[in-house]
Amino acid sequence: MSRALRSLVLLSAWLDIASAANIFVSHYQGTVQSLSLNQNGGRYTLTANGTVTLGGQPSWLTFDSANRILYVADETGYGTASIWSVAANINGGLTQTGKATAPLGSVHNVLYGDGYIASAHYQTSMVTTFKLPLTSSAQTLQKFALTMPGKGTIPSRQDAAHPHEVIVDPTGKFILVPDLGADLIRLYSINASTGMLTSCGQYTEVGGTGPRHGSWWNNSTLYIANELANTVHGFTVTYPASGCIALSRFQSITTMTGNKTAPTGTKVAEVRLKDNFLYAANRRDLTFNPNDSITAFSLDSAGDMTFQGITSSGGTYPRTFAINKAGDMIVIGDQTTANVVVVKRDTVTGALGPQIASMRIGTVGTAENDNGLSAVIWDE
């Protein structure tokens, strides 16, 4: 091999190592894209890779990494809504492989049991399940119509039950549903082989809390981000002999510096954990005006949260974010500014920053509307 050729081979091997990370991103205008995060001499760039146009209003991405299939929720609120499966080729290509008709207004989905998917339908107050794969003739396996007596403490937002997430517990035996409208965390037991869910209880929150999204530390500790109170609640989880799962709250903390109440208009969205650190996304808090923020908390050995710091989300309305497995980067999906932002994370101190890349995806959104960028996750 000539010296020049050998250098070229070495260079391309180095370039391969330098472009290790891929990201999936969904946009409310109807697309899912894959992005490559490349590093060259310490400089990071995001580049568009594959794209698939699904239509509707893709609102959430769940990745079955073993089979490289993305499951996409559809928040479409009028007419007909879908639930899609998309094959994510290792070379970055995306292809729709399945589509079923689903109830309107889905904001989240999760895989559970032996080949099932559950969805939370915010607008239509429902939890539904499907058996996989998603064929065109697939019907819902179960539909739970959620109700509440009258309106809640914040009537403008709590006019009806509004399930926001379907969370599988670490044992795989239960699904928990934060209901923003009813101030409940609804509890269901799972039959893994049949996919059937059975309602087995609920945890009642303080009026006006608005539980939205959760994240597990371990099988006895769960954190829930509350969109209306703009707090994070820590729960001790137990598994009573009666056969359900039980929650007991041990802490409530605001996401703002100095334990301050979040500014009016703030809507805490997402909560994620890595080791002994927890992060929450603040939409429209404008801490880094015009940008919003991500709050970091450290956890002590009992799971108590202590405010650690607040970092710019590098855009407006961070609806979702995800921490990579290595724990050295987080990717943020800013909805209204429709940009994907990658921020460094210190694996020892848990501190976030600096921002290393940002890329606009599709059209920007308008404040408080279901448009713009909806979700981001790592391809891993």
Interaction site with ligand NAG (CB under 6 A): 22, 36, 47, 49, 91-92, 171, 191, 193-194, 217-221, 236, 239, 259, 288, 291, 301-303, 312, 314-315, 341, 355, 358
Nearer to ligand NAG, 101 or 142 (CB): 142
Nearer to ligand NAG, 139 or 218 (CB): 218
CB of 82 to ligand NAG, least distance (A): 26
Token code pair at residue 213: 């999204």
Nearer to ligand NAG, 165 or 169 (CB): 169
Q: Which residues contact 201 (CB under 8 A, 6 or more apart)?
A: 187, 244, 245, 246
What residue number has its CB nearest to ligand NAG? 92
CB of 203 to ligand NAG, least distance (A): 16
Nearer to ligand NAG, 39 or 236 (CB): 236
Write the DSSP assignment of 75-130 as a string of letters. Answer: ---SS-EEEEEEEE-TTS-EEEEEEEEE-S-EEEEEEETTTEEEEEETTTTEEEEE
CB of 303 to ligand NAG, least distance (A): 4
User: In this structure, are residues 161 and 148 in contact, taking their beta carbons and an 8 Å threshold?
Assistant: yes
Write the DSSP assignment of 231-278 as a string of letters. Answer: EEEEEEEE--TTSS-EEEEEEEEESSGGGPPPPTT-EEEEEEEETTEE
> In what helix (H) or strand (E) does residue 141 lie, and over which residues does it extend?
none
CB of 361 to ligand NAG, least distance (A): 13
User: In this structure, are residues 224 and 271 in contact, taking their beta carbons and an 8 Å threshold?
Assistant: yes
CB of 36 to ligand NAG, least distance (A): 4
Nearer to ligand NAG, 23 or 184 (CB): 23
Nearer to ligand NAG, 28 or 223 (CB): 223
Tally of CB atoms within 10 A around 89: 12
CB of 101 to ligand NAG, least distance (A): 26
